[in-house]
Every structure is written in C-alpha cells, then in structure tokens.
Amino acid sequence: MEITFDVETIPTGEKLTKEDFTPPGNMSKPETIALWYQDKVPELIEKEYLDRAKSTYRSQVICLAYKIDESEIGVLWGDERDIILQFEKVLDPYRNKIDGATWIGHNIISFDLPILRQRGFKYDISLFKRINLKKYDDRVFDTMERFFRPEKDYISLDELCKFLGMEGKSFDASKVYERYKAENIQGICEDCKNDVQVEWNVYQRMQ
C-alpha cells in the first residue's frame, strides 16, 4: 500500500507585540532604540508569525491532499480537526495495512508525518499516534531525503523536478497564507492536489 500526501498550513495564535522584543546589546542611545522599535520590530513580528506556518506544532492545517496507491487524488479542507478526522476515515478501510504502508512525499520526514502524529495526540486518533517513522525507514519514501541520502541538505520539490527534467510545482507554498487571507481556498486545494501528483511522479522516477 502506498500513501502519497501533502499538507498546507498557515500560522496560528496571537502575534507577538513590541514588548516581546529586546533591543540588540550594542544599542544604547534612546533615539537609536526608539528607531529600532519603530522600523525593525514590525518586520520581526510579521516574520515570526509567518514562520509559524513552517512549524509542525505552531501551524494550522487548512488543506490535505492524498493519493492511495494509484487512485484519484482526494483533497480535504476546512477546520483542522475535521480534516484530520476525515483523513482517518479515508484510511480506515486500510487500517490493517497501515503499519506496512509506504508513505510518499517531499520533506515528509521532517514536516508532514510529524504533523499527522502530533495531531493524532491532539485529537486522540490512535491511527496517527502510531506513526513514528524515521529517516532511512523503508516505509517512507521522502523524495528529498532519498535524493540526498546519506548527505544532509535541502532542495525544494520544484528544484528537484527541474533537476530531473520533469514538470514541477505550479505554486510557491510560502504564498498559502496570502491566498488564505484572500479566501482563495479552491486555489490552495488545487495546488495541494498538484503537489501530490508531482510527488507521485517524482517517486515513480526515483524508484
């Protein structure tokens, strides 16, 4: 059994305030410190907030696309808890095969799989609590990890596709939050589905 999947996330929680930041130690003049708070801190606040989307536990899942074996790609979106519970229902018919299934995706060892496991803890879903797959586990085909094995490095899915001479991603994941604020959920879902298809294509090439 092969499970290809991809999640899209956005930041969550309250933004930090100016009071959460301390000026660099080399700043002593009041006017310089005041200027730092005025010009630099707003940027730091925004960057810290947006970076939460890259965190497995400080982010919020808004979309999950999946492909079971060679079936059509499905997509789930909306409330995080509902998405995770729906994905459990999708996988439930295969429950007796999950432990031996191959999980496929790009950078899923560090991001997508931990998200599933952590949400399993959060929403008390035993199927996802059991996910504890690590680097070099044959039950995971992480296209980024397989590309660099045994070295440690990073390459985006789009860059990997270009290297392989294949059609890549159509959208930059860093723009997901912008689309979410613009209420373009359909666009996010289509791109998430496209990512799964691209990941599947790369998987086929790399076998």
Which stretches within 149-184 are classed as H helix?
A: 157-164, 176-181
> Which residue type sits at 123?
Y
Assigned domain for 8 exists? yes
Q: Give DSSP secondary structure letters for 85-139.
A: HHHHHHHGGGGGGGGGPEEEESSTTTTHHHHHHHHHHHHT-HHHHT----TT-TT
Assigned domain for 144 exists? yes
Cα–Cα distances in angstroms (integers) from residue 24 to residues 17, 31, 49, in the given order: 17, 14, 20
Looking at the structure of the chain, the number of domains it has is 1
Q: Is the pLDDT of residue 171 over 90?
A: no
| Residue-number span of the structural domain to which 96 is assigned | 2-13+52-206
**3-state class (DSSP) for residue 67:** strand
* Model pLDDT for residues 54-100, shown as the tens digit of each residue: 999 999 999 999 999 999 999 999 999 999 999 999 999 998 888 88
pTM of the model: 0.89
Residues 34, 36, 38, 41, Cα dihedral to 10°:
-130
Assigned domain for 43 exists? no
Assigned domain for 140 exists? yes
Assigned domain for 25 exists? no
Assigned domain for 198 exists? yes
Q: Is the pLDDT of residue 137 over 90?
A: no
Q: Determine which of 86-95, 129-138, 160-169 has the lowest per-residue pLDDT on average.
A: 129-138
Nearest C-alpha neighbor of 169 from the set 128, 140, 198, 132: 198
Assigned domain for 101 exists? yes
Beta bridge pairs of residue 188: none
CATH label of the domain that carries residue 184: 3.30.420.10
Assigned domain for 123 exists? yes
